Amino acid sequence: MTAAQAEREKLLESLDAAGAGSARAVIVLGSGLGPLAEEVEGARRLPYEGLAGMPESAVPGHAGRLVLGELSGVPVVLQQGRCHLYEGRTAEEVSRCVRCLVELGVGTVLLTNAAGGLHAEWPIPSLMRITDHINLQGVTPLDSSGRGYGTPYDPELGSLIDAAAEEAGVALRTGVYAALPGPTYETHAEVRMHGSFGADAVGMSTAQEALAAHAAGARVAAISCITNHAAGLSHIETNHEEVVEAGLKATEQFTGLIRALLTRLGAEEPS
């Protein structure tokens, strides 16, 4: 057994002992989107440092804990903060938690992130459902036996999100997410290149988790909070504080959308 496999086994045991596998959905909260965790009813908060095998993040805006409880009557586990490849983590480490939760029986994974928008006409902040991604991070959490074909994003779950957005009165865009290694923001030339590839937003997370969760058998969806215009589309220089602030501004719409989605999930027959 490799060191990574041993750490994964430790995390599986920690999450199982905490009862995390009984959740219907896991929601990974990106930069500035953490306030949703305050809405959880009957919340149990588990700091990452207390979970054996759980990689921790030092990025501002990521609280570093799991929150277990209910939202809109649905048992959930919220991952309030994630680690990133640019922190020196491997693809296995950044996707370890969601993969373990799926292996414990959590069937729905909703990933969220803060992203730079490639459309100057989109207001800041905006919400975008990811229909597919372009993995430019140079790594993958999958091996040759992984379920790596096609898009990891489930179209039926995507349709549920679209319907939830309409019900909640949330303007939800759709588009392709380009996943980059970070930690630097893009140059003007890189932004033009990503647009020519068909990307609508750029960020530094999500792709590894989506691939791993899909391979483990979950249905996966993802939402980007467009917190800034990518370099060259605005006179404002991109910085992390701006990203977090814009995420906080989107909290009300984001919370309304997630609650409406969970209500729909709760009406489904458990798989």
pLDDT of residue 9: 97
pLDDT of residue 198: 96
Domains of the chain by residue range: 3-45+65-267
* Catalytic residue list: 31, 62, 84, 86-87, 114, 204-205, 228, 240
**Is the whole-model pTM more than 0.85?**
yes
Query: Along the 271 residues of the chain, how does pLDDT read in single tens digits?
Result: 899 999 999 999 999 999 999 999 999 998 778 889 999 999 999 999 999 999 987 766 557 899 999 999 999 999 998 999 999 999 999 999 999 999 999 999 999 999 999 999 999 899 999 999 999 999 999 987 666 678 999 999 999 999 999 999 999 999 999 999 988 888 889 999 999 999 999 999 999 999 999 999 999 999 999 988 876 565 555 555 655 665 567 788 999 999 999 999 988 866 5
Superfamily designation of domain 3-45+65-267: Nucleoside phosphorylase domain (3.40.50.1580)
pLDDT of residue 268: 80
pLDDT of residue 60: 63
DSSP line for the chain: --HHHHHHHHHHHHHHHTTGGG-SEEEEE-TT-GGGGGG-EEEEEEEGGGSTTPPP---TT---EEEEEEETTEEEEEEE----GGGT--HHHHHHHHHHHHHTT--EEEEEEEEEES-TTS-SSEEEEEEEEEE-SS--S--TTS--SS-SB-HHHHHHHHHHHHHHT--EEEEEEEE---SSPPPHHHHHHHHHHT-SEEESSSHHHHHHHHHTT-EEEEEEEEEEEPTTSSSSPP-HHHHHHHHHHTHHHHHHHHHHHHHHHHHSPP-
